[in-house]
């Protein structure tokens, strides 16, 4: 075999070997790409499943609280109104009977109000600002502490699912402040810009050491719930100086 033929064979085998390597490389890249696609699809499915579980759990929690509230109202409020209506209607005095009819009208209004709370339609009807105002007014009406609310109305436009999550997270934050912080003042501040909306919940209560290990999972659950709607949860606290919680939700 001549040198020229040897060179041709060498080039030919080299080309075949290079083509083989390129084929292996292409196949490997295709397989890797498919694996990443599968992993990404699994991540998306997991996120969707977590989101659906979160919404379902929140709906169940709110419905349970609503049923407990309805039970208390039926026993403490409507039950008392019915007793008063019965006493007045049984009276022979016309003014008492008229008063009894007024009690009946009041009972009808109370029952209608309770019936509206038995489903979650109220979530679509109320703005997040109005919900926070209601919560703070209830806290202040008990004489527990003074409250304040300031908003630039960044959260007026919200889909029901995101609003539901925020309502539950805010409820938990306010309840934790009341139960554990014993504040004199409790404030909620809403502010946003072109990229981010933010809810700050601040109290001047006991505060705590955020580096100390916690036996509960409350903060972790709140973080996860915010993550399911694409938001974030952060907390800063100093012993004796209170706590600030920030809920961020990108636009």
Q: Write out the chain's pLDDT in tens, 251 residues.
A: 566 667 767 777 777 877 778 888 888 888 888 888 888 788 777 777 777 778 777 877 777 777 776 777 777 778 888 888 888 888 888 888 888 888 888 888 888 877 776 767 778 888 999 999 999 998 998 888 999 999 999 888 888 888 989 999 999 999 899 988 899 999 999 998 888 999 999 999 999 888 877 766 678 889 999 998 999 999 999 999 999 999 999 98
* Residue 151 and residue 208 in one domain: yes
Residues 14 and 88 grouped into a single domain:
yes
Do 54 and 162 fall within a single domain? no
- 141 & 239 share domain: yes
Residues 102 and 178 placed together within one structural domain of the fold: no
| Residues 129 and 244 grouped into a single domain | yes
Q: Could you give the number of structural domains in the chain?
A: 2
Q: At 88, list the tokens.
A: 């007045």
Kindly state whether residues 90 and 134 are assigned to the same domain.
no
- Whether 242 and 141 map to the same domain: the answer is yes
Same domain for 129 and 54, yes or no, is no
User: What pLDDT, on the 0 to 100 scale, is given for residue 136?
Assistant: 95
Strand partners, 243: 203, 237
Report d(CA 62, CA 66) in Å as an integer.
6
Q: Which of 116, 142, 171 is a domain's end point? A: 116
pLDDT at 10: 73
Q: Please tell me whether residues 110 and 135 are part of one structural domain.
A: no
Distance CA 239, CA 67 (A): 37
Report helix, strand or coil for 39: helix
Asked if residue 183 and residue 90 are part of one domain, the reply reads no
H/E run at residue 224: helix 218-228
> Based on the domain organization, do 106 and 178 belong to the same domain?
no
End position of a domain, from candidates 72, 99, 116: 116
Supply 92's token pair.
């022979």
Instruction: Quote the domain boundaries for residue 156.
Output: 125-250
For the entire predicted model, the pTM comes to 0.67
Query: In this structure, what are the phi and psi dihedrals at residue 234, rounded to the nearest 5 degrees?
Result: -135, 150
């Amino acid at each position: 075999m001549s040198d020229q033929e040897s060179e041709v064979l060498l080039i030919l085998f080299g080309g075949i070997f290079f083509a083989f390597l390129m084929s292996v490389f292409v196949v490997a890249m295709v397989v890797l790409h498919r694996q990443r696609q599968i992993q990404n699809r699994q991540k998306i499915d997991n996120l969707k499943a977590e989101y659906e579980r979160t919404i379902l759990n929140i709906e169940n929690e709110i419905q349970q609280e609503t049923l407990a509230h309805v039970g208390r109202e039926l026993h403490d409020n409507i039950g008392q109104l019915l007793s008063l209506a019965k006493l007045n209607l049984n009276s022979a005095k016309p003014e008492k009977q008229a008063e009894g009819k007024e009690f009946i009208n009041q009972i009808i209004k109370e029952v209608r109000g309770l019936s509206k709370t038995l489903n979650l339609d109220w979530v679509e009807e109320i703005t997040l600002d109005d919900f926070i105002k209601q919560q703070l007014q209830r806290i202040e009406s008990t004489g527990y502490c003074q409250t304040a609310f300031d908003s630039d109305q960044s959260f007026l436009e919200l889909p029901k699912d995101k609003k539901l999550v925020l309502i539950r997270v805010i409820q938990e934050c306010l309840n934790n402040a009341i139960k554990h912080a014993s504040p004199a003042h409790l404030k909620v501040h809403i502010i946003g810009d072109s990229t981010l909306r933010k809810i700050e919940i601040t109290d001047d209560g006991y505060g705590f050491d955020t580096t100390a290990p916690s036996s509960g999972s409350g903060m972790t659950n709140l973080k996860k719930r915010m993550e399911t709607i694409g938001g974030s949860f952060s907390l800063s606290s100093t012993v004796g100086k209170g706590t600030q919680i920030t809920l961020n939700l990108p636009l």
